[in-house]
Amino acid sequence: MWFKNLRVYKITEALNLEPEALERALTEHKFSPCTGQEAVRMGFTYPLHHSIKQYHHQQQHLHLFAVKRQEKVLPAAVINEELQPKIDALEMEKGRPLGRKEKQALKEELIQALLPRAFSRSTVTTALYDAENQWFIVNSSSAGKAEDVLSLVRKALGSLPALPWIDNNQLNLAMQQWLTDQDLPTGFKLGNEAELKAPDEEGAKVKFSNHLLTAAEVQSHLEDKLVTKLEFVVEGQASFMVCDDGGLKKLRFHEVLANQNDELGWDDIVLRLDADLLVMANELAVLLKSLQQAVTPAA
């Protein structure tokens, strides 16, 4: 239930999520396993708990989704081991070395033949639509995986007007200032992790972990490098890494928050998960608004 990485999008038009119609739409795109020749298959699965057989879960203004992705795993070593004898045999038959395109065609043919015997790997990505703040939040560190979730939701709903939640150029400037001047968003403190990268062609990088970020060693890199990742700590709430593309990684909620609903127990699993969902969503709203206002004060 507790998100660990965030890709956040601003919904520009409120979504019409009538429960029965939405459930039918999601069911049409529910997950089913890959067939023999398919390399990847994606679809909706149950977001709250496997025992709650609904493809959409609503709690107040919060809407929870989950997308399951299954892909066939073909290790490169396995492909190469079977590919080389085929290349050797065909070169002997033709009496000449094969060209790059010929080898690629042979490789693609081999992959299709191997797919039915390949192992399958599945992952589930959850997403939260906050109708009150008009945010769509995907629990993933990968922009590509987040876009896959958006695409599937868009396909099911017919429309999903989503834009980046924050201006990346303004964020990049703010991150540079936060590490330089420590003029941080209200309630935020610097953590002990940061990454910086030179903007030239070589793109020299430096990474600090478990390090005092106000130290001269760190500050000296600001002369020729840009901040690409910066850790923050919000006392009593959470710690997380802000990335220059607008993503948040390594999100860890304070144990007081994470354990806030322990007295409810797990006898009523829906009650407990809903309670945790509300706590998490409220904290995310506070953190995201603080960051947004610090980057774009006039917004």
Residue 138 clears pLDDT 70, i.e. is over it: yes
What average pLDDT does the segment 37-47 reach?
89
Give residue 278's pLDDT.
94
**Which run of H or E residues covers position 120?**
strand 119-130
Structure confidence at residue 199 (pLDDT) = 87
Query: SS3 for 51?
Result: coil
Q: Which two tokens stand for residue 215?
A: 């130290």
pLDDT beyond 90 at 98: no
pLDDT given at position 195? 94
Q: How does residue 244 score in pLDDT terms, banded at 50, 70 and 90? A: very high
- Written as six digits, the tokens of 48 are 């709250």
pLDDT for position 238: 93
Helix axes 168-181, 269-295, angle to 10 degrees: 80
- State the pLDDT confidence band at 203, using cuts at 50, 70 and 90: confident
12-36 residue pLDDT tens = 988 888 889 999 999 999 999 888 7
Report the amino acid identity of residue 267.
D
Q: Quote the CA–CA distance of 242 and 185 in Å, as a whole number.
A: 12
Task: Provide mean pLDDT across the span 200-213.
Answer: 88
Residue 297 pLDDT more than 70?
A: no
Residue 298's pLDDT band (cuts 50, 70, 90): low
Q: What is the pLDDT of residue 99?
A: 87
Coil, strand or helix: which one is 44? strand
Range in 64-68, 98-102, 195-199 with the lowest mean pLDDT: 98-102
Q: Is 289 exposed, middle or buried (0-12, 13-18, 19+ CB in 10 A)?
A: middle
50: its two tokens: 């496997």
Average pLDDT, the chain: 89
- pTM, two decimals, is 0.84
Give the model's confidence band at 246: pLDDT under 50 very low, under 70 low, under 90 confident, else very high: very high
Q: Is the pLDDT of residue 299 over 60?
A: no
Q: Are 57 and 47 a contacting pair, CB within 8 Å?
A: yes
Distance CA(71)–CA(31), nearest Å, equals: 12
Asked whether the beta carbons of 74 and 53 are under 8 A apart, the reply is: no
Query: Percentage of residues in the chain with pLDDT exceeding 90?
Result: 54
Q: How large is the average pLDDT for residues 79-108?
A: 86
Annotate 179-208 with DSSP letters as a single string. Answer: HHH--PPTTEEEEEEEEEE-SSSS--EEEE
Q: Does the pLDDT of residue 116 top 90, yes or no?
A: no
| Confidence at residue 259, expressed as pLDDT on a 0 to 100 scale | 85
Q: Which residues contact 216 (CB under 8 A, 6 or more apart)?
A: none
CB 161 within 8 A of CB 134: no
pLDDT of 206 higher than 70: yes
d(CA 168, CA 163): 12
